[in-house]
């Protein structure tokens, strides 16, 4: 049996940034350990500035570690790789390209457009954008642009999809609709999904496991497995219990950090 790809291992990772303006250093991450299995959906939550995005950029290969090591499928992550796709909060679409051409860009860049052209149209249909396939980003709503960003990352079939607050700028109704689309895409493609979010409900609704990080320096203070079946009911007692546990842990992490800084 072929081993499924998309295993991420973060081992004792510390990230320190030099601050030239203050002639000092900033510890963004401290001794972070994490294991994410192939095809798993995992969220990372924490306060602003706790190092969540830095950790995601390390997994993407856009940041190096100071100490420790990050691996993808047993290999040291030493740079960006199309096997690890990244979606940012801002859509970053090419304004001069249509929806179809934006989505197909990665396939063209890697010489795979001929074999993947059908996938482009299938994904456009999957996120209900067929009638906008020839439209340009400025002609789309924010939710539409973010759907294009998601499928543009998916069309090249990454083993790991890294999501850095991709829904943070959307209104609540649009955000919930795209959460459902994201779950459908995950079920269809079986990528490993790693989501950074400030939204506790979003993390619970989407994830199989949630990592909670402390304020800077970012450390993992709790790992919460979620055994609720999909689709999840945001108003259920089980959902509420998990939400309260995460909020309590986030407050605990804040208190612990205050003691750490004394």
For 53-179, list the strands marked E by DSSP.
67-72, 75-76, 84-87, 160-164
Q: How far is CA 123 from CA 40, 128, 154, 244, in A?
A: 21, 9, 9, 36
Q: What is the pLDDT of residue 112?
A: 77
How many Cα atoms occupy the beta-carbon half-sphere of 50 within 13 Å? 23
- The label of the residue with tokens 């689709």 reads 231
Give the integer Cα–Cα distance in Å for 180 and 206: 8
Q: Backbone phi, then psi, for 138, in 5-degree steps?
A: -70, -15
The structure tokens listed for 185 are 């895409």
Q: Residue 12 falls within a domain, yes or no? A: no
Q: What is the pLDDT of residue 259?
A: 53
Residue 65 included in any domain: no
| Burial (CB count <10 Å: 0-12, 13-18, 19+), residue 224 | middle
* Domain-embedded: residue 129: yes
Coil, helix or strand for 84?
strand
Q: How far apart are CA 102 and CA 93, in angstroms?
A: 7
State the Cα–Cα distance between residues 130 and 149, nearest whole angstrom.
15
Is 6 part of any domain? Answer: no
What is the C-alpha separation between 49 and 209, in angstroms, rounded? Answer: 21
Whole-number pLDDT of residue 262: 44
Distance CA 82, CA 6 (A): 12
In a domain, 92, yes or no: yes
Domain at 158, CATH number: 3.40.50.300
Q: Which domain holds residue 234?
A: 39-53+81-261
Q: What local confidence, expressed as pLDDT, does residue 130 receive? A: 92
Q: Is residue 198 part of a domain?
A: yes
| 252 within a domain of the structure (yes/no) | yes
Count of the separate structural domains present in the chain: 1
β strands within 21-159, DSSP E: 24-36, 41-45, 67-72, 75-76, 84-87
Reading the chain (262 residues) residue by residue, the pLDDT tens digits are 456 799 999 999 999 998 777 678 999 999 999 999 999 999 999 988 899 999 999 999 999 999 999 999 999 999 999 899 999 877 689 999 999 999 999 888 878 777 778 888 888 988 889 999 999 999 999 889 988 998 898 888 899 999 999 888 788 888 898 899 899 989 988 999 999 998 999 999 999 999 999 998 999 999 999 999 999 999 999 999 999 999 999 886 566 555 555 4
Q: Which residue has the tokens 């010489």?
A: 111
Asked whether residue 11 is assigned to any structural domain, the reply reads no
């Amino acid at each position: 049996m072929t081993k499924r790809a998309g295993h991420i291992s973060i081992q004792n990772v510390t990230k320190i940034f030099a601050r030239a303006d203050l002639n000092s250093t900033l510890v963004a991450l401290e001794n972070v350990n994490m294991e994410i299995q192939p095809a798993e959906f995992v969220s990372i939550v924490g306060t602003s500035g706790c190092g969540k995005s830095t950790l995601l950029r390390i997994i993407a290969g856009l940041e190096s570690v100071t100490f420790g090591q990050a691996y993808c499928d047993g290999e040291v992550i030493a740079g960006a790789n199309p096997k690890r796709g990244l979606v940012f909060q801002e859509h970053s679409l090419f304004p001069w390209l249509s929806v179809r051409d934006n989505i197909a860009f990665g396939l063209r860049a890697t010489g795979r457009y001929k074999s993947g052209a059908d996938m482009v149209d299938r994904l456009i249909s999957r996120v209900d954008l067929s009638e906008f396939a020839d439209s340009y980003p400025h002609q789309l709503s924010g939710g539409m642009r973010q759907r294009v960003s998601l499928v543009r990352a998916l069309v090249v079939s990454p083993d790991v999809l890294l999501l850095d607050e991709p829904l943070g700028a959307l209104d609540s109704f649009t955000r919930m609709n795209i959460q459902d689309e994201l779950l459908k895409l995950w079920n269809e493609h079986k990528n490993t999904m790693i989501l950074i979010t400030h939204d506790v409900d979003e993390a619970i609704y989407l994830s199989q496991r949630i990592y909670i990080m402390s304020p800077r320096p970012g450390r993992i203070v709790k790992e919460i497995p979620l055994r609720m079946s999909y689709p999840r009911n945001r108003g259920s007692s089980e959902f509420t219990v998990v939400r309260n546990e995460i909020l309590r842990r986030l407050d605990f992490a804040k208190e612990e950090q205050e003691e750490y800084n004394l």
